[in-house]
Amino acid sequence: MLSEVTFGQYYPSKSFVHRLDPRVKILLLIAYIVMIFTAQNFLGLIASLLFLSLTIIFSGVPIGSVLKSIKAILFLVIFTAILNILFYSPKQGDTHLFWVVYVEGLISAGFLALRLISLVMGSSILTLTTTPVSLTDGIESLLSPLKLVKFPVHDLALIMSIALRSIPTLANETERIINAQKARGADFDSGNIIKKAKALVPVLIPLLISAFRRGDELGDAMDARCYSGSKVRTKYKKLTLSVRDLIAFLVTVVAFAGVILLNIYELNVLAYFAKIWG
Amino acid sequence: MRIVAENLSFTYNKKSKFKVDALAGVTLTIEEDSFFGIIGHTGSGKSTFIQHLNGLIPVEKGSLTVGDINLADKSKIVKKRYKELRSKVGMVFQYPEYQLFAETVYEDVAFGFRNFFPDASKEEEKKAVFQTLALMGLGAEYINQSPLDLSGGQKRRVAIAGVLVTKPEILVLDEPVAGLDPVGKNELMKTLRVLLDNGVVKTVIVVSHDMDEVCENCDSVAVFSEGRVVLSGSPKEVFKNSKEMSELRLGVPVTGYLKDELSKMGVEIDVDFTRDDFVEKVVEYYKNIK
Amino acid sequence: MQAIEFKNVSFSYGDGDSRKEVLKDFSLTIKKGSFVALLGRNGSGKSTCAKLINGLLIPTSGTVTVFGMDTKDKSNLFEIRKRAGMVFQNPDNQQIASIVEDDVAFGPENIGVPRKEIKERIDYALSVTGTEEFRHSEVARLSGGQKQRVAIAGAIALLPEILILDESTSMLDPKGRKEVMEVVRTLNREKGMTVIDITHYMDEAVEADEICIMDNGVITAQGTPNQVFAQKELIAKCGLELPVSAKIAEKLKSAGLPLPEGILTKEALSDKLCELLRKI
């Protein structure tokens, strides 16, 4: 059953992080990303990683699921790290190891890799603890000021939520059509790429026809239930902030402040020591 | 080709929390030359079972042989025979018209033929397509039409022809009459019976929800519930268990209901649950007491 | 006032050569509070009829009025759709939100019902359809019958007076069909809802107050189930059949059993048979 795996990577639980308002989670993720890029040294990065670990602990998501998200970008991480090492432009006083490799180059590559990994792990916490539906709600609510400049926020959110809810239906349909064509002797596994692509035609065409038919019917169903996209529309689900969200917000502020302090601290470290000993 | 399943079990999403035991030890024999009915609720394992028959779902536990192919055998030699298996076991899914994709009826029906008989000549292909369409009650006037322009009932017949053209010995159909109007239903069931009687296919297996339809058309029946076969045999043997059938919330054909009600009044008649037999026996009874 | 009135309605698709006339000078009146079954073979024009009622389609000529409001007048459409809810055939193609309560809320949200009242309406709609337990479930995980009951709840949340079922039970198994029809019956009998049930199941139609048979875009028979199913030749000509029990009763009669006319249900047939065979 294809539909079961396409429900996104949401990990069901009722943890502290799960129950945060989706808007808060989105904003805090943005804050976290800014934090990572603010950190200018390993100390700052370690501080933001500590913050991330805290979030993972309070999300109740097994660390394995979080680490899985890295797998997808591992290649990218290694690739950028290698480029960084190879194209490092040495400054005076850098320690040369061999060929074009410098110690400082290695350090900067490691720093970048760690930054990327923290970034992806942080984002995956959001998708692991938030259902696609509430994510959509959160985005809609955050974008709502754009309504003032006539940006169709509601329509966008509706399109997103319909797309989300259609995934299991279309996944089932795809599986059924694939099976039906397999039963008629279709072979999707052998031959070269062109042959394989051609083999998909008997799946894609029925799927497309069916998607249009479904879209047509859904349109009728929406009309029948008085959809007009007009301004009179009210909203049943209201996102409300709670103490929990405030706590999460404060913790993030503290972590952010820590990272900034660590930045300043290291930049001034020499001057600081010079003052004491001088 | 005989189908023998022993203790066949299958679980979906084994590792996830949405794990479903679709089959929990199915033991069932389907003989050649029979119109076989499979009944049960949605989720009783019927669909999972029939998808085992042509290897779309691999045997996980237990055994299953179709003709001389042992599907539990995972060796390469057997895997190579899957194509042969799929040509021998024709599978028509629910709402098969949704699988139509070609520009013309001819091309769509020929798709399966070309897959299974890649070396056949154009003449042979043409002959097979025309013959199969005729078997499904569709004349030559349809061959150049787009399948999308046909009526619902015609589309379904084209889709079934697309499976039948591969000359299967066993034809499996998952709720073949769903959504058709009464006349469409009756005609399609009749067509399937003709296919069997004329030896076009050797076995017809039909998944159905309609007890009246099953008992009018099938020679043998298996009742699925919670991944197991709970009752099987001739319609007469199965539907006499009216208590079990209503406990399963499947019910019995109208004739079964009438037999039970008459029995409560002390009127015992021995029927095979087809309407004609019921009428005959009741009339007989009526004449006797008169 | 009548709930629905079709007056000399014609409807056709397409233009020129591909023009297809679906309804021809079609007139029909549906009384408030009645349960009407609309029967006919595939392509007879039943679904077109349904879509003409709530203005999803507009007649080529003639008028359709719902509680006196003409569907041609665009300013009426909102009010008409509020008062005439519709449930479609495929449970997967009429669901808007992923979660049951959000889906039910869609209609009331569209017409600007205040939040507090939306909650009350959801409570009501879910309780009438017996789907409270699924309130926070994903629609995708429900059975066909449950999905269709949620779809009814979605229509009911607009507090309509008419419910149109466009082959809403045709993709369900017998269990699901029973669940749905029980809900529909309750709505009709206890809440006075006008029901128009388009169906292929003759046994479902037998329970209606009135049956209309359509063929080729016109009404060929209309009346109580007894009146309509008495016209055996016409039924067959329109691509339909008698309910199973009526078929058996016919066979018994032609084999010489003195059974009365008008047996349509298995209960009625069993009563008459018991009476007949015991008496002697």
Residues of A within an 8 Å Cβ radius of B: 1, 4, 12, 173, 176-177, 179-187, 201-203, 205-206, 209-210
C85-141 residue pLDDT tens: 999 999 999 988 888 999 999 999 999 999 999 999 999 999 999 999 999 888 888
Q: Which chain B residue has its CA at the smallest distance from C271's CA?
A: B261
| pLDDT computed for residue B15 by the predictor | 66
Cα gap A225→A219, rounded to integer Å: 10
Put simply, the answer to whether B98 touches A210 (Cβ < 8 Å) is yes
The residues that bridge with C210 in the sheet, in sequence order, are C36
User: In a 3-state reduction of DSSP, which class is residue A52?
Assistant: helix
User: What are phi and psi for residue B206, nearest 5 degrees?
Assistant: -120, 130
Q: ipTM for the complex?
A: 0.90
CA proximity to C111, closest of C73, C159, C43, C45 = C159
Domain map of chain C by residue range? 4-226, 242-280
B112 and A179: CB-CB below 8 Å? no
**Per the CB < 8 Å rule, is C81 touching A226?**
yes
Cα distance from A198 to chain B (closest Cα, Å)? 13
- Model confidence at B16, pLDDT cuts 50, 70, 90, reads low
Contacts C265 to B, Cβ<8 Å:
none
Check CB contact under 8 Å for A183 and B86.
yes
Ranges in chain C, pLDDT < 70: 279-280
User: Cβ–Cβ of A184/B148 closer than 8 Å?
Assistant: no
Residue with the larger pLDDT of the pair B26 and A194: B26
> What Rg do the C-alpha atoms of chain B give, in angstroms?
21
CA angle A164, A165, A166 (to 5 degrees): 90
Q: CB A214 to CB C92 under 8 A?
A: yes
So what's the pLDDT on residue B48?
92
User: Given CB atoms, is C82 within the 8 Å cutoff of chain A?
Assistant: yes
Instruction: For C55, name the nearest residue in chain A, comparing CA atoms only.
Output: A224
pLDDT for the residue numbered A140: 86
List chain A pLDDT tens, one digit each, 278 residues. Answer: 333 333 457 777 888 888 889 999 999 999 999 888 888 777 788 888 888 998 998 888 888 888 887 887 888 888 888 888 888 777 777 777 788 788 888 888 888 888 888 888 888 888 888 888 788 889 888 988 888 888 888 888 888 888 888 888 888 899 999 999 999 988 887 778 888 888 899 999 999 999 999 999 999 999 999 998 766 788 888 888 889 889 988 988 888 888 888 777 766 655 665 677 76
For residue A239, the Cα-to-chain-centroid distance in whole angstroms is: 21
From chain B, pick out residues whose CB is under 8 angstroms from the CB of A201.
Answer: 101
Q: Considering only the top CATH level, what class is C4-226?
A: alpha beta
Q: How far apart (Å, rounded) are the C-alpha atoms in residues A193 and C257?
A: 71
The pLDDT score that the predictor gives to residue B26 is 94
| Closest residue in chain A to residue B148, using alpha carbons only | A209
Interchain contact B149–C (C-beta under 8 A) = no
| CA–CA distance, A65 with B87 (Å, rounded to integer) | 43
Q: Do C86 and C54 form a contact (C-beta atoms < 8 A)?
A: yes
Q: How confident is the model at residue B42 (pLDDT cuts 50, 70, 90)?
A: confident
> Torsion over CA of B258, B260, B262 and B266, rounded to 10 degrees?
170
Of A173, A176, A205, the CB nearest to B101: A205
C-beta atoms of A183 and B87 within 8 A? no
Q: Which tens digits make up the pLDDT trace of B145-177? A: 999 889 888 999 999 999 999 999 999 999 999
Question: What is the reported pLDDT for B173?
Answer: 96
Distance of residue B230 Cα from the nearest chain C Cα, in angstroms: 18
Q: Give the pLDDT of residue A191.
A: 77
B-chain residues near C89 (CB < 8 A): 179
CB B258 within 8 A of CB C231: no
Check CB contact of A236 with chain C, cutoff 8 Å.
Answer: yes
- Decide if A270 touches C, using CB distance below 8 A: no
d(CA C34, CA A138): 45
**Chains contacting A (3+ CB pairs below 8 angstroms):** B, C
In DSSP terms, C240 is beta-bridged to: none
Choose the closest CB to A1 out of B13, B162, B166: B13
Interface of chain B against chain A, CB under 8 Å?
12-13, 16-18, 20, 51, 54, 56, 83, 86-87, 90-91, 93-94, 96, 98-102, 111-112, 115-116, 148, 162-163, 166
State the Cα–Cα distance between residues A239 and C160, nearest whole angstrom. Answer: 29
Contact C255 B183 (CB under 8 A): no
Smallest CA–CA separation between A204 and chain C, in Å? Answer: 19
The full set of domains in chain B, from first to last, is 3-252 (3.40.50.300)
Residue B17 has pLDDT above 80, yes or no: no
Q: Mutation target for B interface from A184, A200, A201: give the one with most B CBs within 10 A.
A: A184
* pLDDT for the residue A240: 84
Contacting residues of A for B94, CB less than 8 Å apart = 176
